Amino acid sequence: FLHLEKGEKSPDKKSMMELPPVTSQENGLSQILRLVLKELSLFYSRDVNGVSLLYDLLHSPWLQALLKVYECLQEYIMKKPIPVLSQAQALSCEALLNAHDTVAQKDFEPVLPPLPDNIPENEEALRIVCLVKNKQPLGATIKRHEITGDIMVARIIHGGLADRSGLLYAGDKLVEVNGISVEGLEPEQVIHILAMSHGTIMFKVVPVSDRPINNQTTVYVRTMAKYCPWEDPIIPCADAGLPFRKGEILQIVDRNDSLWWQARKVSDFGACAGLIPSNHLLKRKQREFWWSQPFQPHSCLKSTTYGEEFAGYGHQFFIAGFRRSMRLCRRKSHTSQLPAYTHCYNALGAPYEEVVRYQRHPSDKHRLIVLVGPSGVGVNELRRRLIETDPNHFQSAVPHTTRSKKSYEEDGREYHYVSKETFESLVYGHRMLEYGEYKGNLYGTSVDAVRKVLDEGKVCVMDLEPQSIQVARTHELKPYVIFIKPSTLNHMRQSRKNARIITDYYVNIKFKDEDLQEMEELAKKMETQFGQFFDQVIVNDSLQEACAELLTAVQQAQDEPQWVPATWICSDTEPP
Ligand SMILES: Nc1ncnc2c1ncn2[C@@H]1O[C@H](COP(=O)(O)OP(=O)(O)OP(=O)(O)O)[C@@H](O)[C@H]1O
């Protein structure tokens, strides 16, 4: 510090004005203070009233020290010196470590460390990081360098303490922990030292010469598979892994490593990131898993024997798409065609689907509402009730059939009646969202039938078998998929006492216990296989409550922001 002694000869005002401009380095608060003190000293020597008090105040060592510290920090912020200068040593924490990337999720909190007594001569090459153990993990992993055998910081977990401290980097070489040299130690031994340490822990590291720069933009993805780090034998550090279920939305924050990415769940944004297998790696795992499984025929759908068709509900107005033949046909639809596809998709499709936040503009067409659920759960009951709340706003799509029209039917009301050739051309042209055969006739719902409802400015509500969801997931329809889930067996026994299950016979029959059990099993299978596509799950326990939930969900789908595949919004988006 520049020190002005009391009574020291000060320059006169003119010469003060002519002082050469201070360099940018000097152009700080200390310099201004120095000039003020010089000015004051002029009056001090003349014993001007009150000046001595002001002079003493501004001359006090604590004020000058405070300004100097402030300037040091400013300089540190501007220069980001490597390694960290002694003035700015500080703040860092935690440690995760393991044989490959051993993680010792030790608990730490940052501390402002005392400066070491004797700073080594080669200070420039070392960084000293002090941490205080607390309940937070360090958020870094260590490993042994394959060639040199050095203990290295393998990864810094995004958002963890080490990351936030800004003092530890992947590639830093660990030299000492609490004064103990780590040379020749195994990563596990280093972890043991950490585990045994209490209070402040000091790491001495040789900083990595090229700090990794993460200049990738973050992407959001929907997980198409589930992942459990503790069941993964090849994850570098299971404790640093991020477990996820199918259908969760993740924010991928680091893709520098081609095998292990870092991500966090949008449902838990405050948490630090975790390791997840990269797209490529997860795909490989799925492929290996798929080939290791014996072929299992698809058991998600129930097939029935087929009786006669008769007209459906006798409600006050006609709602298309509730015809018994269509519903029974759907039950057996695709059972022979889709299983292999479904398994293949799960095994070989992209494990992460890039998603973006989408909010429908009021002038855009409505999103298609798709209801999915095991047979008998109440999909059609709920759909019918929803449409009845506002038939001018909610509508079903009119299905196609190749069977002949009955005298009381109207073309385009119950069905679109078409020839087998026309129907088949729609199928081959990929114009059918789903289709099947019932008693020698074809039944199905076309994209055009859905489009017609949407073009009229209405909300199209349809039920689909889960394996058809993929077909409906297009930029144009932007389906919002709601899974109708049965409640517990005990609840169902009560609530379904008077309910009737649709049969192939003229009289619908009451639910038996086996029907309820089968429904529960089917629901589980559907969730396991197709849960990644469900935007919403509604448990159909009380019909009234389920209806209210459905209405709310449908309104949210149309009016509030939702995660949708990025390809629906920008067609040139590549998968991550
Ligand atoms: N929450 C509920 N409480 C009581 N009864 C219900 C409830 N939900 C649906 N039901 C009744 O259960 C029966 C079956 O419902 P629904 O016909 O909607 O089944 P579904 O899921 O469409 O099955 P499918 O596709 O096989 O026809 C109907 O009698 C319906 O009124």
pLDDT tens for residues 183-238? 988 888 888 888 787 778 888 999 888 776 766 788 999 999 889 999 888 888 88
The DSSP code for 121 is T
Atom of ligand 1 nearest to the CA of 502: 27
For ligand 1, atom 25, which residue shows the shortest CA distance? 375
CA of 497 to the centre of ligand 1 (A): 11
Please tell me the least confidently modeled range out of 130-144, 323-337, 467-481: 323-337
Handedness of CA 263, 268, 272, 275 (dihedral sign): negative
* Residues making up the chain, counted from first to last: 576
User: What is the pLDDT, as a whole number, of residue 392?
Assistant: 94
User: What is the pLDDT, as a whole number, of residue 504?
Assistant: 63
User: What is the pLDDT, as a whole number, of residue 386?
Assistant: 96
Residue with the larger pLDDT of the pair 8 and 506: 506
- For the beta carbon of residue 39, count every other beta carbon within 10 angstroms: 15
Cis amide bond preceding 466, omega within 30: no
Write phi, then psi, for 501 (nearest 5 degrees): -95, 140
Please tell me the least confidently modeled range out of 44-53, 444-453, 564-573: 44-53
pLDDT tens digits, 6-34: 233 333 333 332 333 334 445 577 788 88
- For the beta carbon of residue 335, count every other beta carbon within 10 angstroms: 18
Residue 502 has pLDDT above 80, yes or no: no
Residue with the larger pLDDT of the pair 442 and 114: 442
CA of 377 to the centre of ligand 1 (A): 5
User: What is the pLDDT, as a whole number, of residue 460?
Assistant: 97
CA of 441 to the centre of ligand 1 (A): 25
For ligand 1, atom 14, which residue shows the shortest CA distance? 376
CA of 382 to the centre of ligand 1 (A): 8
Confidence of residue 470 (pLDDT cuts 50, 70, 90): very high
Q: Quick one: average pLDDT of 302-306? A: 29
CA of 381 to the centre of ligand 1 (A): 5
User: What is the pLDDT, as a whole number, of residue 487?
Assistant: 94
For ligand 1, atom 8, which residue shows the shortest CA distance? 378
Atom of ligand 1 nearest to the CA of 487: 1
Confidence of residue 505 (pLDDT cuts 50, 70, 90): low
Ligand 1 site residues (CB inside 6 A) read 327, 373, 375-381, 495-496, 499-502, 540, 543, 546
Confidence of residue 174 (pLDDT cuts 50, 70, 90): very high
User: What is the pLDDT, as a whole number, of residue 89?
Assistant: 35
Distance of alpha carbon 480 from the chain centroid: 18
pTM: 0.71
Q: Which SS3 state, helix, strand or coil, does residue 429 take?
A: coil
- For the beta carbon of residue 57, count every other beta carbon within 10 angstroms: 9
Distance of alpha carbon 420 from the chain centroid: 46
CA of 511 to the centre of ligand 1 (A): 10
Residue 339 has pLDDT above 60, yes or no: no
Percent of the chain with pLDDT over 90: 39
User: What is the pLDDT, as a whole number, of residue 321?
Assistant: 64
Percent of the chain with pLDDT over 70: 73
Residue 370 has pLDDT above 70, yes or no: yes
Q: Which SS3 state, helix, strand or coil, does residue 464 take?
A: coil
User: What is the pLDDT, as a whole number, of residue 28?
Assistant: 72
User: What is the pLDDT, as a whole number, of residue 301?
Assistant: 28
Amino acid identity, residue 1?
Answer: F
Q: Which SS3 state, helix, strand or coil, does residue 438 take?
A: strand
Atom of ligand 1 nearest to the CA of 330: 25
Residue with the larger pLDDT of the pair 168 and 521: 521
Residue 530 has pLDDT above 90, yes or no: yes
Confidence of residue 313 (pLDDT cuts 50, 70, 90): very low
Q: Domains along the chain?
A: 13-79 (no CATH), 86-206 (2.30.42.10), 219-292 (2.30.30.40), 324-336+356-566 (3.40.50.300)
pLDDT tens digits, 236-270: 888 889 999 999 999 999 998 889 999 999 988 77
Please tell me the least confidently modeled range out of 214-218, 296-300, 407-411: 296-300
Residue 520 has pLDDT above 70, yes or no: yes
CA of 499 to the centre of ligand 1 (A): 7
pLDDT tens digits, 77-120: 776 555 443 333 333 322 333 333 444 344 454 444 444 455 55
Q: Which SS3 state, helix, strand or coil, does residue 494 take?
A: helix
**Which residue from 375, 380, 438 has its CB within 8 A of the most atoms of ligand 1, so it is best to mutate?**
380
**Which residue from 484, 485, 496 has its CB within 8 A of the most atoms of ligand 1, so it is best to mutate?**
496
Atom of ligand 1 nearest to the CA of 542: 1
Q: Quick one: average pLDDT of 361-374? A: 95
**Which residue from 377, 483, 511, 549 has its CB within 8 A of the most atoms of ligand 1, so it is best to mutate?**
377
pLDDT tens digits, 371-380: 999 988 999 9
Residue 271 has pLDDT above 60, yes or no: yes
Using alpha carbons, select from 375, 410, 308 the residue that is nearest to residue 525: 375
**Which residue from 332, 371, 381 has its CB within 8 A of the most atoms of ligand 1, so it is best to mutate?**
381
Q: Which SS3 state, helix, strand or coil, does residue 138 take?
A: coil
Q: How far apart are CA 226 and CA 329, in angstroms?
A: 32
CA of 404 to the centre of ligand 1 (A): 28
pLDDT tens digits, 344-356: 334 457 889 999 9
For ligand 1, atom 2, which residue shows the shortest CA distance? 543
Average pLDDT, the chain: 77
User: What is the pLDDT, as a whole number, of residue 400?
Assistant: 95
CA of 409 to the centre of ligand 1 (A): 25
User: What is the pLDDT, as a whole number, of residue 357?
Assistant: 94
Question: Buried b vs exposed e over 259-286: b needs ≥16 C-beta within 10 Å?
Answer: ebbbbbbeeeeeebbbbbbbbebbbebb
Q: What is the DSSP string of 321-364?
A: T--HHHHHHHHHTTTTTSHHHHHHHHHHS-SEEEEEEE---TTS
For ligand 1, atom 15, which residue shows the shortest CA distance? 378
Residue 46 has pLDDT above 60, yes or no: yes
Atom of ligand 1 nearest to the CA of 379: 21
CA of 24 to the centre of ligand 1 (A): 78
Q: Quick one: average pLDDT of 284-299? A: 56
Residue with the larger pLDDT of the pair 419 and 333: 419
Q: Which SS3 state, helix, strand or coil, does residue 250 take?
A: strand
Atom of ligand 1 nearest to the CA of 484: 21
CA distances from 311 to 327, 403, 427 (A): 12, 14, 26
Using alpha carbons, select from 356, 334, 305 the residue that is nearest to residue 432: 334
Confidence of residue 571 (pLDDT cuts 50, 70, 90): low
CA of 517 to the centre of ligand 1 (A): 15
CA of 119 to the centre of ligand 1 (A): 77
